[in-house]
């Protein structure tokens, strides 16, 4: 496994020059585009790392997986998806076009509009500190904290998300006020994680919501099944379809450079590579996953 991972890392490093770090959030533009790290945790307790697997970065849109899982645990599938769709949007993650038109609700929980709606389910029930503790538990990482610099940078440049939030409010989608939903959403995006944190979360999902270390059921099987399904169809922004064909592993990306991948009943994979393609996905991360999928037959239909 370590030999395969080392080869995958070299594949990822070879393409970092083809992308750029996120710049629409000023603090994210400070990232080193040449960083690449990967961690794999398997169902028999193995943990393998290569590169910058312990480097801290902000989770960004991968937090949508955590928030969706929590909302499903609180309210159940019918309530959550009564307000939010399940279909790929085909648009950029921060698109406002369809929501401003005829769409009466967000297309799915993995785009910004859907994630803000999910946050509005959670905010009346749980504080940010409680969500932070749940994230630490699900990621097996007690050192996850709010990156204050990124949080304030995002809040200062969040006009588009605020516009999305007011549109959601006007359509009766939000379950709390705009400010409350938006603050929780952005704080969740601003949590510092590592590739190892994400691999742990991936393994939790791969293992049906049961923590491998002690057998504790952290998430209900129905929650996990729904989350993995949405990741597979909608997790890579408007590149989700091509990624599903080429790689075939349920994955969620974030513009901080992270990728969270779930190989059902086998392993969790976490990747850090802040050099992004035009859709906002890690170029090195996609290359690594494509290599691992081919070498280890990880595609869901293999």
* 57-58 and 37-42 beta bridge pairing: unpaired
CA 63, CA 51: separation in Å to the nearest integer?
23
Q: Which of 178, 255, 262, 263 is catalytic?
A: 255
Nearest to 41 by CA among 266, 255, 272, 290: 266
Active site includes 64? yes
DSSP state of 24: S
- Number of neighbouring beta carbons within 10 Å of residue 130: 12
Active site includes 185? yes
1 within 8 A of 41, measured Cβ to Cβ: no
Burial class (CB in 10 A: 0-12, 13-18, 19+), 36: buried
Helix (H, G, I), strand (E, B) or coil at 55: coil
Question: What is the phi-psi region of residue 45: left when phi exceeds 0, alpha when psi lies from -120 to 50, beta otherwise?
Answer: left
Give Cβ neighbours of residue 47 (< 8 Å, ≥ 6 apart).
39, 40, 41, 196, 199
Angle among Cα 159, 160, 166 to the nearest 5 degrees reads: 90
Nearest to 202 by CA among 231, 177, 173: 231
- Mark 69-94 as b/e (b = at least 16 C-beta within 10 Å): bbbbbebeeeebbebbbbebbeeebb
Active site includes 197? no
Active site includes 33? no
Q: Which of 80, 185, 252, 261 is catalytic?
A: 185
Mind telling me the catalytic residues?
61, 64, 185, 237, 255
């Amino acid at each position: 496994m370590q030999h395969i991972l080392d080869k995958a890392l070299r594949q990822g490093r070879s393409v970092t020059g083809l992308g750029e770090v996120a710049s629409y959030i000023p603090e994210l533009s400070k990232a080193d585009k040449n960083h690449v790290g990967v961690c794999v945790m398997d169902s028999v307790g193995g943990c393998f790392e290569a590169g910058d697997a312990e480097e801290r970065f902000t989770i960004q849109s991968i937090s949508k997986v955590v928030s969706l899982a929590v909302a499903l645990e609180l309210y159940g599938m019918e309530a959550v998806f009564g307000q939010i769709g399940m279909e790929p949007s085909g648009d950029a993650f921060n698109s406002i076009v369809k929501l401003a038109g005829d769409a009466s609700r967000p297309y799915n929980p993995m785009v910004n509009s859907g994630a803000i709606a999910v946050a509005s389910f959670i905010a009346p029930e749980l504080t940010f500190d409680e969500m932070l503790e749940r994230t630490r538990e699900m990621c097996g990482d007690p050192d996850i904290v709010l990156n204050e610099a990124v949080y304030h940078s995002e809040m200062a440049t969040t006009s588009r998300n605020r516009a999305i939030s007011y549109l959601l409010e006007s359509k009766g989608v939000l379950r709390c006020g705009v400010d409350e939903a938006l603050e929780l959403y952005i704080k969740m995006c601003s949590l510092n994680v590592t590739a190892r944190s994400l691999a742990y979360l991936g393994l939790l999902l791969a293992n049906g919501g049961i923590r491998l270390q002690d057998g504790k059921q952290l998430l209900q099987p129905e929650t996990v099944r729904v989350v993995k399904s949405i990741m597979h169809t909608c997790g890579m922004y408007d590149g989700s379809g091509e990624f599903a064909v080429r790689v075939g592993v349920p994955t969620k990306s974030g513009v901080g450079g992270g990728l969270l991948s779930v190989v059902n009943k086998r392993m969790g994979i976490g990747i850090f590579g802040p050099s992004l393609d035009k859709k906002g996905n890690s170029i090195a991360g996609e290359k690594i996953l494509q290599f691992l999928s081919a070498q280890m037959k990880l595609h869901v239909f293999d």
